[in-house]
Structure 1
Amino acid sequence: MPSKKPVSEEIDTTLHEEDKVHLKPFLGMRPGIYLAGIYSVLIVLILYFALLYPGISKPGSVLVVDSEPFGAAIRVDGVYMAAAPCSVFVPRGIHRVEAVLPGFEPYRVELEIKSRAFASLFAPLKLPFRAELKPLDPAAAFVNEAADFAAWTFAGEPTASYQIPLSLSEGAYRLGPSASNGAVFDAMDKTLRASARFAVTRASLRDLARAKFLLDNQGLSPSPLSLVSSAQDILAFLGANPGSAAWLADTLQDNASSEIAESSWYMGEVDYASTLGNPGGAATSNGPAVLGLNFKEISGGEFVQPGAFPHKAKVENFYLAETEITAPVWDLFLNENPKWRQENTAELMKQGLVNSDYLKVAEFQDLNRNPPAAGIPGISWHAARAFCQWLTAKLPPAYSKWEARLPTEAEWEYAAGAGIGMQGAYWEWCEDSYAPLDFFPDPASISNNLSPEKSVKGGAWISPSGSVATETRGSLPPYSCSAFVSFRPALGAKP
């Protein structure tokens, strides 16, 4: 078998003359000259488009924005750009720059924006801009932050993929400096205490605690001394409100929850709840009959609201309709207030007063239960309140110091204990806003301005038997309409 030749003998790697590429002259110029020219032009073009063209085609400057407090919305000529701190590009010329933050006076200024042509792509001209906003009404602004905090608590515990803003503590940081005024601090502190009624998640509990420390230190990072003072206030607040131990045991993580549940503090609250007893049923008597609605007079008193956090509640004398609203009196209301007719649902929805289920009845029937023949379902809280305002004008002269309204949760439960039939037909709207932790105090009824939902009580005809107790609580947005929700009016003394 013949042997193979080495590779070097098989392939000729010699560069022959006929293999060379020879550039020809162009316009009488040798290749070395015109190639140098081409390369020079390319370099000039690259430098032009990299260093000059950006500044010529898009003249302007980068506005480096900061605000105090942070987080202000930055607008240029009325167009939202970003939230401070931020950097935004602004074209050359005179522009109106605004920094806006709820509860603060807007900061507005006209700026002449210049530009730099050379190297603006790599080193743009930067102009510093700092906006110091002054609060208009710090206490009112803090209520808005607390309302945002309360609304987020209805979304449940956040997860790794779903986070919520620290609205309450950020509000305490931004508005804290105004708390150096004693009256402002007192108002903000009441709002903070009312916010505790919504802290049903670990995230909201952290936000609440952070807001407390910041508010007590006027928006600054707390010192060791202020931390101790704030902690003492928190402990005093918890100690003054039976139910706090059960709340924390239900809210905190497992290890902390177990320690609280095994503590003497928790067991003491359990013993306290077991000693609570109702002082007896409320006295009732016949009240006025107004447009076919018969009212019962219910004497005021103190009673125990049961549930997860039993606590005592007190109600004043009031009147309550014996039944839910009836079709004849609702028709009278519609005749005098055609705005609330069902055919106007679209307009009412635009005003945020109802939803698309306004005055609709259930479209199905259970095999064993049918919708009640009487009653008007599908009424929003706003519609129920409008009815009550109308009914106030229809009261007899002897009741001129009284007004029609919805019953509070406490009044509803108190009336149920007095023997008035309160369950079975529809869930019923209540006057007060829903707060999950209603055993906490509500200074000046602030939580009514915080909660995004209103309370409903009683259960409906569709509810399985025994599934809804007198103390069972529910809530819905005030514009919500359901085929299983109606209302009954109450009469209370005018404030």
Structure 2
Amino acid sequence: MASRKKTRPAEQPVDDTVNDTVKLGPLFGIGPHHYIPFLYLGAVVLLLFGVLVLPGILQYGSLVSFESDPRGAEIYLNGIRKGSTPLEIFVPSGSYRVEYRLPGITPENFEVDVSGRLLGTLLLPRRILSYAHLKFDEAHLHSVLSSAVREFAAWGAVGQSSRQHRFPPALSEGMDVLMTAAPVPISDERTNAGRDLLLQSVAHTVDPALLRDYVRAASKFHNAGAALGPGGLVETVRFFAHLHNSAEALPVLLSEALPRAESEQLNSNPAFRSFVDRKTTAMVALSYEELPTELPGERRTLLGTSFARVPEGRVPLGQSRQGREPSTLQLPWSKNVASFEIMEHTVTRADYSGFLVENPKWRPENIEELIEAGLVTQDYLHDWRDDMNPALPVTFVSYYAAEAYANWFHSRVSNAHPGLSARLPREAEFEWATLLDGSDLFPGNFRERPNAGPRPAAEGERGNLGLYHMQGNVWEWQLDYFAPGAYLMGDAVEPAGVERVVRGGSWVNSSSEVEPSTRGAQHPSWCSPFLGFRLVIVSGEQS
């Protein structure tokens, strides 16, 4: 029987297309062909209102541009600081008291009325220019000079600048204040201060950013703050030529300040290398073998303190007795030193106690006032107590405390011996006394000794001059500011700065780390268990 095959009926295609038409109905009896144009028109009106009118309602005022000569003045509106010139900020409408403030400048005050505009402020805001040609205050001449040098030197001590760590133009901004503020023409005092600013800061120019700032400041000085012109360019070049004549090693300082690629190119130049090699040997006219062997051996006691006389001579500063290769910034040089007298030992705790009796400001109980004044740190006289050994060197004293002690001692010495002055030693004097004393030729109180800590100031071996611990025991504050390139400038300039030089090493150092030419630097407010001081006596002309 034949089977019957079932078949399914063919499926009909389905049309998925929806053919719906949306028709707008009347609105409040008004047909869409009438109200649609009004809707578009309303949207345009709202957009124009939001762009042209609403910003003027929400921020009714003006963009005020504050400008000044010199630049960098702080702007205060009704006593509230807003920024520094050049500055552009939005100021709501109203009356304001504007004040321009800048160190060394007479504050400029005036009233200003700021109005506004409703229409178009988003696209074309209302602008007002506030300009002041500031007047220099001659009474602050020294503070402007010293603050600019200190800030420039402080950035030089930080390290290398980079894209993430940029140095501000401290020197050129200070020169702006000196050379562009009213009145014009610039007084001789301000001109001399501008020249001193360049001379005192050149030894800190050890970075490309600092070099750019220095050159910018030099050009401002020789152009009275204006843009560099032909005449000013000639004077700027002449200034650097004169500086080079006074300090022959200036190109070496330049090699440190140039960017790396240019510095490497300069250092690989045969003529430059020959110049450095010549300076390494020729700058020192006196070798260690030629040090005087017959020493005066004169001593005297002033106010209960023993001093040894150091003869005049030419000091071979920076030359290593251990055969170390000098760093580029510390090429040795020679310097004339006049005769002076130096304390046989560092100031002791007993000595400092006498100072505290007559100067209560510096007593430990007044430490908070001293800290607030920036004269000491929290560690000032940290170990000061009744049961202390009075023969130990006084430590935990800042440079400012050592300077105050020197001034106190000076007032007493000068009264008893007119014509004599007491002060902290200069580093050339300290190195000269160390060399003549031969302090580095016998064991000092360094880390190699079994008993940690400082020894009594007048205990141990004495050198040729009868001095104690010119090497080791405690570092000693010096009168000089620390400048990285000071040796390269020689006697041409007297650097200023922030940090002060320390010399001599301490009981925590290895004897191999310290020699007569070793120099360090500390912030003058720093108080350390490894740092003390001694005084020198000089004639009035050297004070």
The answer to whether the superposition gives a TM-score over 0.5 is yes
3-state secondary structure, aligned to 1:12: coil
3-state secondary structure, aligned to 1:470: coil
The range that moved more, 122-131 or 182-191, is: 182-191
State the AA in 2 paired with 1:110.
E
Matched, 1:415 2:415: no
State the AA in 2 paired with 1:59.
Y
- Give distance in 2, aligned partners of 1:464 and 1:2: 107
Q: Please, what is the CA RMSD of the aligned residues?
A: 3.5
What is the number of equivalent residue pairs in this alignment? 477
Matched, 1:305 2:317: yes
3-state secondary structure, aligned to 1:466: helix
- Give distance in 1, aligned partners of 2:537 and 2:185: 39
- Residue pairs, 1:243-258, within 5 angstroms: 243-252=249-258, 253-258=263-268
3-state secondary structure, aligned to 2:194: helix
The range that moved more, 105-114 or 372-381, is: 372-381
Matched, 1:294 2:312: no
Taking structure 1 as reference, are residues 40 and 317 closer, same or farther at Cα in structure 2, changes over 3 Å only? same
3-state secondary structure, aligned to 2:63: strand
8 A contact 1:145–1:167 mirrored in 2: yes
- Give distance in 2, aligned partners of 1:173 and 1:351: 29
- Give distance in 2, aligned partners of 1:247 and 1:260: 17
8 A contact 1:279–1:302 mirrored in 2: no
8 A contact 1:359–1:379 mirrored in 2: yes
8 A contact 2:348–2:391 mirrored in 1: no
8 A contact 1:283–1:418 mirrored in 2: no
Taking structure 1 as reference, are residues 136 and 4 closer, same or farther at Cα in structure 2, changes over 3 Å only? farther
Residue aligning to 2:343: 321
Residue aligning to 1:434: 482
- Give distance in 2, aligned partners of 1:283 and 1:319: 11
Residue aligning to 1:283: 296
- Residue pairs, 1:458-469, within 5 angstroms: 458-469=504-515
Residue aligning to 2:444: none
3-state secondary structure, aligned to 1:161: coil
Displacement of 1:82? 2.6
Residue aligning to 2:128: 127
TM-score (norm: length of structure 1): 0.84
State the AA in 1 paired with 2:506.
A
Displacement of 1:479? 0.6
State the AA in 2 paired with 1:311.
W
State the AA in 2 paired with 1:78.
G
State the AA in 1 paired with 2:532.
S
8 A contact 2:201–2:497 mirrored in 1: no
Matched, 1:161 2:164: yes
Displacement of 1:382? 1.1
- Give distance in 1, aligned partners of 2:10 and 2:311: 119
- Residue pairs, 1:347-362, within 5 angstroms: 347-360=369-382
8 A contact 1:198–1:436 mirrored in 2: yes
- Give distance in 1, aligned partners of 2:123 and 2:190: 48
Matched, 1:265 2:269: no
- Residue pairs, 1:198-217, within 5 angstroms: 198-217=204-223
- Give distance in 1, aligned partners of 2:521 and 2:178: 31
State the AA in 1 paired with 2:275.
W
State the AA in 2 paired with 1:99.
Y
The range that moved more, 429-438 or 455-464, is: 429-438
Q: Which runs of 5+ in 1 are unaligned?
A: 363-370
The range that moved more, 312-321 or 459-468, is: 312-321
Taking structure 1 as reference, are residues 104 and 175 closer, same or farther at Cα in structure 2, changes over 3 Å only? same
Taking structure 1 as reference, are residues 327 and 134 closer, same or farther at Cα in structure 2, changes over 3 Å only? closer
3-state secondary structure, aligned to 2:283: helix
Residue aligning to 2:236: 230
Residue aligning to 1:471: 517
Displacement of 1:163? 0.7
Residue aligning to 1:367: none
Taking structure 1 as reference, are residues 406 and 79 closer, same or farther at Cα in structure 2, changes over 3 Å only? same
8 A contact 1:454–1:477 mirrored in 2: yes
Displacement of 1:110? 1.0
Could you give the per-residue CA deviations for residues 39-61 of structure 1, whole angstroms, max 9, x where no partner exists? 77776665555444443444322
Q: Which runs of 5+ in 2 are unaligned?
A: 1-6, 320-329, 438-466
- Give distance in 2, aligned partners of 1:346 and 1:149: 29
Q: 501, 511, 514: which one pairs with 1:455?
A: 501
8 A contact 1:179–1:185 mirrored in 2: no
- Give distance in 2, aligned partners of 1:404 and 1:88: 55
The range that moved more, 64-73 or 425-434, is: 64-73
Taking structure 1 as reference, are residues 327 and 263 closer, same or farther at Cα in structure 2, changes over 3 Å only? closer
State the AA in 1 paired with 2:229.
S
Matched, 1:192 2:195: no
Displacement of 1:483? 1.2
Residue aligning to 2:440: none
Displacement of 1:152? 1.4
State the AA in 2 paired with 1:159.
S
- Give distance in 1, aligned partners of 2:334 and 2:408: 33
Could you give the per-residue CA deviations for residues 96-122 of structure 1, whole angstroms, max 9, x where no partner exists? 122333333333221111122233333
Residue aligning to 2:352: 330
3-state secondary structure, aligned to 1:9: coil
Residue aligning to 1:366: none
Taking structure 1 as reference, are residues 372 and 330 closer, same or farther at Cα in structure 2, changes over 3 Å only? closer
8 A contact 1:304–1:311 mirrored in 2: yes
- Give distance in 1, aligned partners of 2:412 and 2:87: 58
- Give distance in 1, aligned partners of 2:284 and 2:213: 32
8 A contact 1:376–1:486 mirrored in 2: yes
- Give distance in 1, aligned partners of 2:256 and 2:156: 15
The range that moved more, 374-383 or 140-149, is: 140-149
3-state secondary structure, aligned to 2:158: coil
3-state secondary structure, aligned to 1:418: helix
Displacement of 1:31? 7.5
